[in-house]
A and B are shown apart, each in its own frame.
Chain A
């Protein structure tokens, strides 16, 4: 036992050295026209060695350390708490929810422009994650190409504006419906696939859409993207300094206030907020309806679901279509927010981030997914100083989550009662 621990600890220490020395210790220094590889200074070498020793000691005594950790009184003060009563819990849920929404509504008037802009982005990701939650969390279909529907929504608006001068409000339902149509189209070929194979095909689909956008230069402008996408208007009011579109009025003139660039940002935020709320409410309704239950049934046990007369085709297609619909929504808002889109915005990494949000939040749980979206989008912004290590931290957070809370931040709860233990 001890010998095995020693061997393992030595191995871990060596791995620490091998990994951290090249990353932290080696520097590329430009000397005239040549690039020279330079070793680390003493301080770095010492800290790397210290880290290796720490890893060695931890691994050597890890059984003891973990054992005594288990004996410690529970660190989490809520761990042994009695669960709240159902009615009380629901009332609390409602109050918290209303407060959150009210807070979200008035919050942008008191903070900086950058924060509001970031919050809009968070809301877009919330929409995306809620939509993907239907496909992955509820229906259990692993979709790695979800970003394709996001791209369809964004490009629908951009192209419709470019060629037909169609406004945000008209493009919003069109973009969402077109994305839903693409969802349906993807649904057909993948009906028979499951698990890994489904993941690969959806991954391919995501790439196909991106590469198409990149190469159909005559239509989409290819890698140059599409610029000049207008901001949303509010009942025919624009938020610029001057009117761009015939027949529109100006927001600050109508209300007789001085022009401010913030109006536009805040209105965009509020629109995104309303749409995100709409997404959450609609999907919540769906989960309570038979169609939502059929998604879960199919995920739980396909044979049983089919034995009850559910058609696999329609259940899977409905999940794909509804998920894609909300991605189209988010895409339209994104295009309007950015004012410029290119295939660059719809790479696989985006799909991965949205999926990470769903997994981190807890499959199927709406509140969890919303929290995770906030965390995943805002934390990297807060950690700007460590920008080089951002992905490293992200990866670390994922690994730790999977170890300690594999079911996500707030796993989906079902209404159920538990029998009181007999006294």
Chain B
């Protein structure tokens, strides 16, 4: 049963083609990692899923429904949540307000429940409930960004470089949480440069190179693949 399917997706920035026909499939309940070097088009691929920019050709199907031409706001309200690259929390709002923004289209009662759930996942955030988000450490901000995305009760969560600029210990924590999300039944689409950790966690993985999918295999196989090791894991 597939959650998200990309079929031969091309994306253009103006006249420049950034994705040259990418096909990706994410099944329900699995963690799929997308790895690739700088400028390979990882973030572009995610943004295309979110409809900004829209794919110039190809199809994007979310749970059997074609969302290729949907406006961003509608896509983001249909059971999909993204943790954008660089966290992008609302720094002058408090932690609680940030979470409330995540549940913007849910009822208050639902929000209270999901808020408690987020606090149980990240006890650290509970301690900082009324603190301005911008004054927290990078790791706490990343937790908040993930928590905010969870507030909309997504069926699928997309994470764009969640380990960016974090200390190794914090990265470990974040990846533990990501594994935990899968156990809760949330589908995870993970985009990472930190290939080692991303692939060891993932059920399946894709390798993106200059706008094309180069390899596609299970996470363990990709980790063992000599080409991948040479290119992304430092030999």
Contact = CB atoms under 8 A, between A and B. Distances in A.
Interface in B88-117: 88-94, 97, 100-102, 104-105
B73 A310 contact: yes
A416 B130 contact: yes
B104 A308 contact: yes
B105 A309 contact: yes
B131 A308 contact: no
B152 A308 contact: yes
Interface of A: 290, 293-294, 296-297, 300-301, 303-312, 414-419
B105 A414 contact: no
B93 A414 contact: yes
Nearest to B87: A304
Contacts of B81: 307-308
B76 interface: yes
Contacts of B77: 309
A308 B148 CA distance: 9
Nearest to A302: B88
Contacts of A417: 130-131
Nearest to B94: A416
Interface of B: 50, 52, 71-77, 81-82, 84, 88-94, 97, 100-102, 104-105, 130-132, 148-149, 152
Nearest to A419: B131
B82 A307 contact: yes
Given A296-B92, A300-B91, A309-B75, 6 more contacts: A306-B72, A306-B73, A307-B88, A308-B104, A309-B76, A416-B131
Nearest to A314: B73
A300 B130 contact: no
Q: Ordered nearest first, which 7 A-B pairs have the shortest CB separation?
A: A309-B76, A311-B73, A304-B88, A309-B77, A300-B90, A417-B130, A307-B82
A301 B88 contact: yes
A414 B88 contact: no
Contacts of B132: 414, 416
Contacts of A416: 94, 130-132
30 contacts: A293-B97, A294-B104, A296-B92, A296-B93, A297-B93, A300-B91, A303-B84, A304-B90, A306-B73, A306-B76, A307-B149, A308-B76, A308-B101, A308-B148, A308-B152, A309-B73, A309-B75, A309-B77, A309-B104, A309-B152, A311-B71, A414-B92, A414-B93, A414-B97, A415-B94, A415-B130, A416-B130, A417-B130, A418-B131, A419-B131
B76 A300 contact: no
Nearest to B103: A308
A414 B84 contact: no
Contacts of A297: 90, 93, 101
A240 B118 CA distance: 65
Contacts of B131: 416-419
B219 to A, nearest CB: 26
Contacts of B149: 307
A419 B136 CA distance: 12
B102 to A, nearest CB: 6
Contact of B93 (A290, A300, A418): A300
A139 to B, nearest CB: 14
B104 to A, nearest CB: 6
Contacts of A418: 131
A214 B226 CA distance: 76
A268 B74 CA distance: 48
B104 A310 contact: yes
B73 A293 contact: no
Contacts of A296: 90, 92-93
Nearest to B100: A293
A307 B100 contact: no
A140 to B, nearest CB: 11
B94 A293 contact: no
A64 to B, nearest CB: 36
Given A300-B90, A309-B73, A293 B130 contact: no
A198 to B, nearest CB: 20
A308 B102 contact: yes
A303 B73 contact: no
Nearest to B90: A300
A313 B32 CA distance: 33
A304 B152 contact: no
Contacts of B91: 300
A300 B92 CA distance: 8
A300 B93 CA distance: 9
Contacts of A309: 73-77, 104-105, 152
Contacts of B82: 307
A418 to B, nearest CB: 8
A417 B95 CA distance: 11
A418 B130 CA distance: 8
A414 B148 CA distance: 19
Nearest to A364: B92
A147 B75 CA distance: 38
Given A307-B84, A308-B148, A414 B104 contact: no
A301 B89 CA distance: 8
Contacts of B90: 296-297, 300-301, 304
Contacts of A300: 90-93
Contacts of A311: 71-73
Contacts of A294: 101, 104
Among A294, A307, A415, the most chain B Cβ lie within 10 Å of the Cβ of A307
Contacts of B101: 293-294, 297, 305, 308
Nearest to A301: B88
